[in-house]
Amino acid sequence: MNLTEVFRSFQNMKVAIIGDVMVDAYLKGKVHRMSPEAPVPVLLLNKEENRLGGAANVALNLKALGAQTYLCSVIGKDHAGETLIDLLKDAGIHNHEILFDEQRKTTVKTRVLSGTQHVLRIDQEDLHSLESSMEDALIKAVKHRMDEGLDALIFEDYNKGVLTQRVITELVSYANEKGIKTTVDPKNDNFLSYKHVSLFKPNLKELIEGLAVSIDVVTRPESLAEAAKKLREVLNHDLTLITLSEHGIFVESEASWKKISAHVREITDVSGAGDTVIAVATLCLIANLEPEQIAAIANLAGGMVCEHSGVVSVDSNALLLEANKLS
């Protein structure tokens, strides 16, 4: 298949995302003076905006690429939770596997912006792990979705408590039994819990902290390969993608490894770039592209969304246009 056919095939793919969802809220305006009450800026507010964040942003990216998308998570029974459900409905994302827990609050990250400059971020969240009854309900819901037919299950971990050790282990095992690909965007708490998955995508900081290793991307790129080998020995997974920020992306399979440089861009905001990378990489994996192709296209996509302010999803047509230039 050429890349046009590959991108067209995304429309036939069914992908579920399980993980921490959140509302990304924005207070936008202009700082015009310092407060006389304390040494802090005064922002003249002119716009408020709510967007989907976390695992929900992965779902947005998948939807933008044409895939049939299912979101599985647990949120609070609160106003922010209602806002999130409304945003999902507006985006056309299937949310039947979103469960409500009266013991949790829905995560909201509020960013205060003066123009494109971040002034402050305010987080509202609960970080405790799910109670066993909620684990039961979530596992049951996701297994049902897998029984209905999926090509891949993405684990989007933001350390907010939805992805517990039990949830991870049971769902990876069930997916593997059914031949469903599993891809992971990890965080530190469960970093080494994702054994036997299809694709594991940490960023450089997460890899260094998760394995307690030293890596020098510039002078010793082979140190990435050494860390990836160590990771493989622990997780016994199929493919590693490591996002390297301005240094690009690293891909490693059992047979080979390669570091791909970043493309020169006007970076405005890196928020949500990792969400885009895991979404694109998952669809390319389902399409059976070679590891280096998967990494190259995901690397492009992650860079493209960084050119925009705030958390945004990738433009499928623009990505295809740039990806074709690589070949």
Q: Could you tell me whether strands 68-76 and 117-124 are parallel, antiparallel, or unpaired per DSSP bridges?
A: unpaired
- How far is it, in rounded angstroms, from Cα 19 to Cα 164? 10
pLDDT of residue 209: 94
| Predicted TM-score of the model (pTM) | 0.92
Q: Which amino acid is at 234?
A: V
Has 275 been annotated as catalytic? yes
Angle between helices 79-91 and 55-64 (to 10 degrees): 10
pLDDT of residue 269: 45
Helices (H), 197-239: 204-211, 222-235
CB contact at 8 A, 138 and 165: no
DSSP class of 263: P
Rounded to an integer, the average pLDDT of 78-83 is 96
Reported as half-sphere exposure (CB side, CA atoms, 13 A), residue 233 has a value of: 7
Rounded to an integer, the average pLDDT of 288-302 is 92
Structure tokens at 195: 């054994």
Of 183, 284, 201, 282, the residue nearest 243 (C-alpha): 201
Say if residue 292's pLDDT is above 60: yes
Contacts of 95 (CB under 8 A, 6+ apart): 71, 85, 88, 89
- How far is it, in rounded angstroms, from Cα 190 to Cα 261? 28
pLDDT of residue 312: 65
Say if residue 267's pLDDT is above 60: no
Q: What is the pLDDT of residues 139-179, one digit of tens each?
A: 999 999 999 999 999 999 999 999 999 999 999 999 999 99
CB contact at 8 A, 295 and 259: no
Rounded to the nearest integer, the mean pLDDT of the chain is: 91
pLDDT of residue 246: 82
If one counts every other C-beta atom within 10 angstroms of the C-beta of residue 176, the result is 14
Supply φ then ψ for residue 208, to 5 degrees: -60, -45
Distances (CA, A) of 150 to 137, 144, 237, 301: 19, 10, 20, 23
CB contact at 8 A, 34 and 90: no
Say if residue 316's pLDDT is above 60: yes
If one counts every other C-beta atom within 10 angstroms of the C-beta of residue 146, the result is 19
Say if residue 21's pLDDT is above 80: yes
Q: What is the pLDDT of residues 110-143, one digit of tens each?
A: 999 999 888 999 999 999 999 999 999 999 999 9
Say if residue 311's pLDDT is above 80: no
- How far is it, in rounded angstroms, from Cα 241 to Cα 222? 15
- How far is it, in rounded angstroms, from Cα 76 to Cα 162? 12
Q: Which residue has the higher pLDDT, 312 or 236?
A: 236
Question: What angle is formed at CA 313 by the lines to CA 174 and CA 148, rounded to 5 degrees?
Answer: 25
pLDDT of residue 261: 84
Structure tokens at 201: 């995508």
Q: What is the torsion angle, in degrees rounded to the nearest 10, for the CA atoms of residue 317, residue 197, residue 55 and residue 241?
A: -50
Q: 20, 86, 275, 315: which one is catalytic?
A: 275
Structure tokens at 7: 């991108």
Say if residue 100's pLDDT is above 90: yes
Structure tokens at 186: 């990890």
Q: Which amino acid is at 144?
A: H
Q: Which residue has the higher pLDDT, 96 or 301?
A: 301
3-326: CATH topology is UDP-N-acetylmuramoyl-L-alanine:D-glutamate ligase (3.40.1190)
